[in-house]
Structure formats: C-alpha cells, structure tokens
Structure 1
C-alpha cells in the first residue's frame, strides 16, 4: 500500500468512528440530546389555525381583482406578476403567472382557497 492509500484508509476509519459514536452512546441507554432545527416552510405543516396565529402567506406585489363564475375564476391585473394560490389549510396549491389584463383560471378542484389573502370558494 502506498502512503496515499494509507492516509485515505485512516481518514475513512476516523469518519466511521465519528459517525458511529452517537449510535453507540444511544445504545447504552444514555440520553441523546436533540437540537431543535429552525423551522423551514418545506418541513412545517400549517393549518388555517396557524395562519390566524400570524404565519403569512405570500401575496402578489400589485393589486388584483378576483371574481368567480361557477368553477372559473377571473383575475384582472394591471401588471405582469406571480400570484400564489393556497388551500384552506394554508398549503401552497400553485403559483400563477398573470399577464396584464384579464386572466382566466379553470380546472381548480372544488374547495375553498386563499387567493391574494382573500377567501375564494370554488363550487
């Protein structure tokens, strides 16, 4: 074995030892400290109660006018922008790219949604 191979083997052995230490300690009945991870929007489950407690949903940068016509939603915007749509539970359903003028959205399943922080019911 060459000098480089011995160093690589020693490095792998050290990494394996460090990785197995917490597992060995937990196996002996000792308490394992768990650190709280910072909340991430991808990992955090939200509900409508969470929204009322201060969690914020994204809104469009410019004002929009929203009207429903049966199962079709008419969204009028004076600017090209992105518009997020959330379910009643506060989960991001989709993000729409709005063009300037009138935009029509169809195909949303029946339910209650938040579009630009306004409740919209699709029946």
Structure 2
C-alpha cells in the first residue's frame, strides 16, 4: 500500500518550512509523519476491507508559534481533504479524522515540538487470484 508515500508527497507540495519526512523528526527544524499501530479493520465477504490507517504528524521548530501554527494548518488541511489517490491502486481513500488534537509534546533547549494524531479510512479491494 502506498498511502504513506502519497501522504508525504501531498504534504510536501504545501511548501511548509521543512520537507516532510517519515518516520521521525530529523536535525534542525523538521516535520515528520510516523505510522501508529492500529487494529481498526472491517472485513467483508468478498475479501475487501476497510482499514483505519493511524498516523501522527509532528512539527519541530525553534519558534514556538511556527511549530504550533504549522501543525494547526496541517490538521485543518487534512480534515478537509477530498482525496489522496493511490498511484498503484492499492487503496481507495475515504477520509481522514483527527483523533488527537494538535498539542505540545515538549521543548528542549532549542526546539518546540507539537503533534496531532489522525486516522485515514482506506478501502482495500480484494486481491484477484
């Protein structure tokens, strides 16, 4: 499934202060998407299923308001998005929900870190034999 790659690609087209990477924050000002564990599946008799794809987005910046406003902007963008299409047909996008609102994760001597958690509903067609 190529959902993570499509999500990273989509967010990088938005021109934030740093390139969005996965799975962890990098040195300097940074934005990262980390996949979270999830067991949110609905299976159907034809072999198709709905999957809740859980992920967290983190922002890290030396300026607190930049980190905060960026995670708010990302949350608003994702909550209202119509589609993040698969390039290889591995899923059909249905929606994204915010499961944990943007909040402060911490601060070290230089950086402020904010995060929000999301769940994307993806429909997976049955594999053809």
Larger fraction in helix: 1
Higher Cα Rg, which structure:
1
What TM-score comes out, normalization by structure 2 length? 0.28
Higher relative contact order (CA 8 A, sep 6+): 2
Larger fraction in strand: 2
What TM-score comes out, normalization by structure 1 length? 0.28
